Each structure stands twice: as structure tokens, then as C-alpha cells.
Amino acid sequence: MQTTAALQNIAIVLNKPKRSGNIGSVARCAKNMGIERIFVVGHADPDGEEMRKMSTHLATDLVDSIRYFNCLDTALAHFQYVVGMTARKGAARGATLSPREAAASLVDISQHNEIALLFGPENTGLTNDNLKFCHAVVTIPTSSFKSINLSHAVMILCYEIFIARMETAERFTPRLATSAELEGMYSQIKELLMKIGFLNPQNPERWMMYIRRFFPRTKLRSREVKIVRGICRQMEWYLDNKKV
């Protein structure tokens, strides 16, 4: 017996999309693939008429239910797993997966966790600072022209998730820590590492990015995040109270 992705636990997050029509096109793609939630970050005043035109009448309910946020960290706060889509590769961006590889893992994770599929602006895509929130990074293989329309990228990833299957006998992934919980932990780790001189104060985020790449591979739960933060607090207490 096989299990499919729990689509009700998956949402699309568009970070600073430039065109209202593209938001509508994304809504149409999401509706086609059974995803019913879209979050939009940083779009000042989207044109509702243009969005509905591009979504067609079949997806206007999804357009009307879009949630809007001013900043990315707030939009992602309650998600346990974030997948970022990018056309650019590099050491700072970490290892990338194909849509099919990512979809295979998301079937398992989606059973007990809220998942965000994160897409950047049409002209620039996601920045390194945006990708710091991501547990996995996905790149769509192309021939020579790497740029893909936003709604096309959404459709490709959502289609792979829609058709992915998993044997139910496999071990399931339990409920993971939320993005907000992880961000609190990373902030505390950063403060501690700066205090002991491990991080370069001129560019602390460079090494923190490697730490951010490491922890998602362990799929931390809320209790484990609390343990890490407790260790950090104890170390800070020791540093503040040790005898010189």
C-alpha cells in the first residue's frame, strides 16, 4: 500500500512577487495540483482583477483566500519544513535537489508537518538571506536557458509532489520544530559563538549559514530545539560567571 503527500499541509509562499498576474497564474497551478493555500510576502497592492483574470474562475476562491505578510520570517513562522526554489547554485546555497527528489521526501514529511514551498521574485529569485530559512533547496534542471516563469516553476514542483508516492511501511517523520523555534535557536547560537570568538563579527552570517545547513539534516523536534537552547544558556551562564 502506498501513501501520497498530505496536500492540505502544504502551502505556496511567494516572496515579493512583482506582477499581480503571476500571482493569479500561480493560484491556477496550485489549484490544478490540489494545493489550497498561498501566502504572499511584501506585495504592496496586488491588482485583484488581474489576479482573478489569470487564475480563471476555477481558482478565484484561492485568490480570495491569499494571506499577505510584510516580512518573510513572519510568513514562515509556523511551518516545520521550508523548501526553497532557486535557479542559482553555489557553495553558500548548499546542496540542491531536483523537484522529483524533493517530492519523494515531502510525502513522508507532509504527513505530520506543515510545509512551505518558497519562491522568490520573478527577476532575481531567492537571495542567500532568504534561503537561510530553508531546510531544502530545489533547482529545476534545464538545457541552456535557466530562467523559468514563476508559475511554471510552481507547477513543476507541485506536479512532482502530486504524483509522488511512498510505501506506508517506511518510517514516518514526526512533527518537527517550527521555523520560529529554529530562528530563536539560531539567534542564541549566534550570540554564544560571537561571545567565545568563534564567529567573525564582521561577517557572522557566513559561518552561520553552514550551521543552518547542518541542523535541518537532523530534522529537529521542538523538544530537541529546547535542549540545544538550554545548553547554550548554560554555556553563557558559565562564561559570565567563571573565575578569572
Quick one: what percent of the chain has pLDDT higher than 70? 93
179-241 CATH choice from 3.40.50.880, 2.60.40.10, 1.10.8.590, 1.20.1250.20: 1.10.8.590
> Where are the CATH 1.10.8.590 domain residues in the chain?
179-241
What pLDDT is stored for residue 46 in this prediction?
A: 86
Q: How many angstroms from the chain centroid is the CA of residue 98?
A: 15
> Where are the CATH 3.40.1280.10 domain residues in the chain?
2-167
Q: What is the mean pLDDT of the segment spanning 32-42?
A: 96
Q: What is the mean pLDDT of the segment spanning 213-227?
A: 87
pLDDT tens for 64-115 read: 999 999 999 999 999 999 999 988 776 666 778 999 999 999 999 999 999 9
Tell me which of 242 and 127 has the higher pLDDT. 127
- Domain covering 2-167 in this structure, CATH number: 3.40.1280.10
From residue 209, alpha-carbon distances to 91, 199, 212, 213 in Å are: 10, 11, 5, 6
Going through 125-186 in order, the beta strands assigned E by DSSP cover 136-138, 165-167
> For the range 204-207, what are the long-range contacts, defined as Cβ-Cβ under 8 Å and sequence gap of 24 or more?
205/129, 205/132, 206/92
Q: Mean pLDDT across the chain, nearest whole number? A: 89
Per DSSP, the three-state class of 38 is strand
